[in-house]
């Protein structure tokens, strides 16, 4: 079969870097990282964080960029095609099922969170986010808005109109995302990221300036000032412990590794797809490092100076010591903070708008791998592939919105797909690069056209240290969350699969999506074989 369509591609190098950075920068940069750093003591945590960045995050990013460009120069833009190219084995492309369901199923709930950010920013813009000095007002609004009390609760918006409807904002986000995806790589994703990422940084810097100039807003509480807020975040030693005691905390090392891993968006199968559109001799080493550096800047230099210091100044150390989870901090505690802050409405709008931009650039990257596969493997045109993907993700998101009690559907997808399957996929890709493609061949690919020197040491890091590091973190996570369990209030995830009908229904839906993609991959493999037998260089 001949393909007369022009191949989709990036139009500039800075465009692909911004797109990958946008894929990585998300809510975790501004909400999760500061909470972890404050919890474990800034100094010790940053040591563990730096080690995880150098030994886990950066090597996996290098591996994904290398395999992506390697696949791209052989005519493949999708993970199943690239896995099959790297590992000449019949089962190889079927690992692509993971690379399809991970981003697609994460999108199903991530777009809902994106809608919350858009809704909050719109409410700040229209002055509809002031629920008074009582923190319970913010909690009441959020829990009803997302429907935590009962399934389908968020479908009703008594007295709030469209501004109180999560579903309305979800539809807006869906339309925006799929319009951009339909426009293609350069006219959609790249175009959006080229203005959204600078706009995100400008918003964050404006919020940062406001936070750093807070001084001591309440003279009756002189200890709650911005310097103490920064100290709470960054002081290397917590009261009653030493730096070395903090450093010996294994849980902190796992938390730091997990944060780096999720924050850099490595292991999603997204970078592989993005990098496959880069020309065969273009640099990927510096581009990869720049994208990682962009993410770290947003996380450490912006996120690290905004969230916790602001919460400390207005709400005191007790909120930071016992953070109400990522959602609680972001959507309940911070709006309460903004309500007490001079220029709080403007700051609230900027903060949630920057979260919205970060979420859109991430959610776009979750759709592109599946679109690339449907076009490449099945020969579908853009309209058909976008429509099919839109249908699948709309079904999933509808389930996430409806089964909202305790955010059970969202939590189930986040646990099994957004964490478990993500670890599994990253582990597979790390082994694929280090041991199947081979670290030597992989490093040669990484160095082709490289504008920075990659030390030879990295070859051994990628081959030995990174897989071991990743498997230890994965094993620790499995032990803590599945086999042994943690706190009493945490559900037993395995038992939940058979005792909770909603959890079971969500996982049956995920299994159905996985089977569907498995069938698509089987058909794609037949198409690729036929094309190869016919001597075509580029598959369908």
Q: Shortest CA distance to 419 belongs to which of 348, 484, 346, 477?
A: 477
Give the separation between CA 532 and CA 176, rounded to whole angstroms.
38
Q: If binding is defined by CB under 8 A, does position 415 make contact with other proteins?
A: no
Among 29, 165, 259, 290, binds other proteins (CB under 8 A): 290
Binding-site size for other proteins (CB under 8 A) equals 48
How many CB atoms neighbour CB 343 within 10 A? 11
Q: How far is the CB of 439 from other proteins (least distance, A)?
A: 24
Nearer to other proteins, 186 or 397 (CB): 186
Q: If binding is defined by CB under 8 A, does position 3 make contact with other proteins?
A: yes
Q: If binding is defined by CB under 8 A, does position 13 make contact with other proteins?
A: yes
Q: How far is the CB of 88 from other proteins (least distance, A)?
A: 23
Q: If binding is defined by CB under 8 A, does position 40 make contact with other proteins?
A: no
Q: If binding is defined by CB under 8 A, does position 209 make contact with other proteins?
A: no
Q: If binding is defined by CB under 8 A, does position 212 make contact with other proteins?
A: no
Give the separation between CA 101 and CA 420, rounded to whole angstroms.
12
Q: Which helix (H) or strand (E) holds 447?
A: helix 439-447
Nearer to other proteins, 29 or 412 (CB): 29
* Inter-helix orientation angle 33-40/42-52, to 10°: 120
Q: If binding is defined by CB under 8 A, does position 28 make contact with other proteins?
A: no
Nearer to other proteins, 297 or 476 (CB): 297
Per the CB < 8 A criterion, the answer to whether 269 and 369 are in contact is: yes
- C-alpha dihedral, 126 to 130 to 135 to 141, nearest 10°: -50
Give the separation between CA 261 and CA 253, rounded to whole angstroms.
12
Nearer to other proteins, 172 or 301 (CB): 301
Nearer to other proteins, 423 or 458 (CB): 458
Q: If binding is defined by CB under 8 A, does position 168 make contact with other proteins?
A: no
Give the separation between CA 263 and CA 292, rounded to whole angstroms.
9
Nearer to other proteins, 5 or 440 (CB): 5
Nearer to other proteins, 227 or 395 (CB): 227
For residues 477-516, which are near other proteins according to CB under 8 A? Answer: none
The token pair that represents 202 in the structure block: 């400008």
Options 167-175, 234-242, 394-402, 466-474: segment touching other proteins (CB under 8 A) = 234-242
Q: How big is the CA angle at 32 (ends 26 and 37), to the nearest 5 degrees?
A: 130
Q: What are phi and psi of 99, to 5 degrees?
A: -70, -15
Q: List all residues 6 or more positions away from 345 whose beta carbon is below 8 Å from its beta carbon.
A: 124, 127, 129, 130, 338
Instruction: Using the structure block, give the residue that is written with the tokens 């082994």.
Output: 431
Q: If binding is defined by CB under 8 A, does position 61 make contact with other proteins?
A: no
The token pair that represents 405 in the structure block: 């009690």
Q: If binding is defined by CB under 8 A, does position 366 make contact with other proteins?
A: no
Per the CB < 8 A criterion, the answer to whether 305 and 230 are in contact is: yes
Among 74, 151, 279, 448, binds other proteins (CB under 8 A): 279
Q: How far is the CB of 229 from other proteins (least distance, A)?
A: 9
Among 299, 375, 414, 445, binds other proteins (CB under 8 A): 299
Per the CB < 8 A criterion, the answer to whether 19 and 197 are in contact is: no
Q: If binding is defined by CB under 8 A, does position 17 make contact with other proteins?
A: yes
Among 246, 296, 375, 445, binds other proteins (CB under 8 A): 296
* Inter-helix orientation angle 422-431/466-478, to 10°: 160
Length of the chain: 540
Among 117, 196, 230, 367, binds other proteins (CB under 8 A): 230
Residues near other proteins, by CB under 8 A: 2-7, 9-14, 16-17, 42-43, 46, 227-228, 230-231, 233-237, 277-279, 282, 286-287, 289-290, 293-294, 296-297, 299-301, 304-305, 451-452, 535-536, 538
């Amino acid at each position: 079969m001949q393909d007369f369509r022009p191949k989709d591609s990036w139009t500039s190098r800075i465009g692909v870097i911004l797109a990958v950075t946008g894929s990585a920068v998300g809510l975790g940069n501004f909400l999760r990282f500061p909470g972890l750093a404050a919890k474990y003591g800034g100094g010790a945590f940053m040591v563990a964080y730096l080690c995880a960045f150098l030994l886990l995050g950066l090597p996996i990013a290098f591996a994904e960029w290398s395999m992506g460009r390697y696949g791209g120069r052989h005519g493949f833009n999708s993970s199943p095609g690239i896995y099959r190219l790297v590992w000449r084995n019949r089962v190889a492309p079927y690992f692509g099922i993971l690379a399809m369901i991970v981003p697609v199923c994460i999108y199903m709930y991530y777009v809902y969170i994106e809608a919350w950010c858009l809704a909050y920013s719109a409410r700040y813009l229209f002055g509809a986010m002031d629920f008074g000095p009582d923190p319970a007002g913010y909690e009441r609004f959020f829990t009803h808005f997302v429907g935590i009390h009962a399934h389908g609760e968020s479908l009703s918006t008594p007295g709030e109109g469209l501004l109180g409807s999560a579903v309305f904002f979800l539809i807006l986000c869906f339309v925006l995302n799929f319009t951009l995806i339909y426009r293609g790589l350069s006219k959609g994703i790249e175009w959006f990221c080229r203005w959204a990422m600078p706009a995100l940084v400008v918003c964050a810097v404006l919020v940062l300036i406001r936070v750093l100039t807070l001084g001591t807003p309440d003279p009756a509480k002189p200890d709650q000032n911005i310097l103490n807020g920064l100290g709470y975040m960054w002081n290397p030693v917590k009261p009653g412990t030493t730096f070395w005691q903090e450093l010996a905390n294994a849980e902190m090392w796992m938390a730091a590794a997990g944060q780096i891993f999720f924050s850099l968006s490595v292991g999603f199968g997204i970078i592989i797809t993005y990098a496959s559109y880069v020309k065969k001799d273009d640099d990927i080493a510096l581009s990869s490092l720049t994208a990682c550096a962009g993410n770290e800047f947003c996380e450490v230099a912006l996120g690290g100076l905004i969230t916790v210091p602001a919460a400390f100044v207005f709400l005191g150390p007790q909120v930071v010591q016992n953070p109400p989870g990522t959602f609680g901090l972001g959507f309940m505690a911070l709006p309460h903070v903004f309500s007490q802050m001079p220029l709080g409405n403007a700051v609230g709008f900027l903060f949630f708008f920057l979260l919205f931009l970060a979420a859109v650039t991430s959610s776009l990257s979750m759709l592109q791998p599946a679109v690339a596969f449907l076009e490449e493997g099945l020969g579908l045109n853009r309209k058909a592939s976008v429509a099919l993907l839109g249908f699948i993700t709309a079904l999933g998101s509808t389930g996430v919105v409806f089964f909202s009690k305790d955010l059970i559907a969202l939590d189930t997808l986040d646990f099994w797909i957004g964490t478990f399957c993500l670890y599994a996929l990253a582990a597979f890709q790390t082994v694929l690069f280090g041991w199947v493609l081979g670290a030597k061949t992989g490093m040669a690919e990484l160095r082709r056209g490289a504008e920075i020197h990659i030390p030879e040491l990295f070859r051994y890091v990628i081959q030995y240290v990174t897989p071991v590091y990743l498997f230890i973190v994965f094993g620790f996570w499995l032990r803590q969350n599945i086999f042994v369990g943690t706190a009493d209030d945490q559900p037993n995830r395995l038992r939940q699969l058979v005792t909770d009908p909603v959890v079971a229904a969500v996982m049956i839906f995920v299994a159905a999506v996985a089977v569907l993609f498995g069938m698509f991959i089987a058909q794609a493999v037949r198409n690729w074989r036929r094309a190869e037998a016919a001597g075509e260089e580029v598959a369908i």
